[in-house]
């Protein structure tokens, strides 16, 4: 009962319990913080094309945006924030689908990197395809979202305080951006 292995097991179990309690206490110190921030998104140029998809053989709308973004993410970083995963999401409604969400751009900011975003005339990183022809003249809401990646605790999904509603052009364009 008082063998070396028994005492080692007791010490190990107690150490794990202490580490778990300290980790939970550390998680509680940042759980109730406000992770929202002010953001400013501006659409500089938008075009809509009617493109044929390779694997379907039908024509679908393709939107392309050029935007500017201002946001200061520095206050979000604390001792428990390892990194931020930021992404701009476009949300719109069609007759086919009530909610359509497309990620247009993303960025990872690690702790210690410059977290002030002042981007100008940036092209969307990802294609803005619709599964029909509903982008032309449609109202699209752009918003900046981010995930707070912690050292310990809950993985927060946060939306910026400001959105931008923008009406896409109602004519198709044949040229490049």
**Token reading at 65:** 């945006």
**Is residue 177 predicted with pLDDT exceeding 60?**
no
**For the chain, domain boundaries:** 1-32, 35-167
Convert 78-111 to b/e letters by CB count within 10 Å (16 or more is b): eebbebbebbbbbebebeeeeebebebbeeebee
Residue the block writes with tokens 């097991």: 9
* pLDDT value of residue 174: 78
Instruction: Say if strands 81-92 and 100-110 run parallel, antiparallel, or are unpaired.
Output: antiparallel
Q: Per-residue pLDDT tens for 51-74?
A: 887 777 788 889 999 999 999 999
Q: Per-residue pLDDT tens for 96-154?
A: 889 999 999 999 999 999 999 999 999 999 988 888 888 888 999 999 999 999 988 88
Q: How is domain 35-167 classified at the CATH fold level?
A: Immunoglobulin-like (2.60.40)
Distance of CA 55 to the CA centre of its chain: 28
The model's pTM: 0.86
Q: Per-residue pLDDT tens for 5-39?
A: 999 999 999 999 999 998 888 888 888 899 999 99
Q: What is the strand order of the sheet 139-150 is part of?
A: 100-110, 81-92, 139-150, 156-167
DSSP string, 62-111: EEEEEEEEEEE-GGG--TTEEEEEEEEEEEE--SS-S-EEEEEEEEEEET
Work out the number of other CB atoms within 10 angstroms of the CB of residue 174.
Answer: 7
* pLDDT value of residue 50: 86
């Amino acid at each position: 009962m008082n063998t070396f292995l028994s005492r080692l097991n007791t010490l190990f179990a107690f150490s794990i319990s202490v580490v778990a309690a300290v980790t939970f206490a550390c998680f509680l110190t940042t759980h109730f913080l406000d992770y929202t921030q002010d953001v400013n998104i501006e659409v500089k140029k938008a075009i809509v094309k009617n493109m044929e998809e390779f694997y379907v053989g039908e024509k679908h709308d393709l939107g392309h945006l050029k935007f500017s973004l201002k946001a200061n993410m520095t206050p979000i970083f604390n001792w428990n924030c390892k990194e931020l995963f930021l992404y701009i999401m476009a949300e719109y409604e069609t007759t086919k689908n009530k909610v359509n969400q497309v990620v247009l751009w993303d960025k990872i900011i690690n702790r210690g990197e410059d977290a002030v975003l002042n981007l100008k005339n940036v092209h969307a990183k990802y294609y803005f395809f619709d599964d029909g022809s509903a982008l032309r003249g449609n109202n699209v809401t752009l918003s900046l979202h981010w995930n707070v990646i912690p050292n310990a605790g809950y993985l927060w999904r946060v939306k910026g305080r400001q959105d931008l509603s923008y009406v896409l052009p109602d004519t198709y364009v044949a040229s490049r951006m």
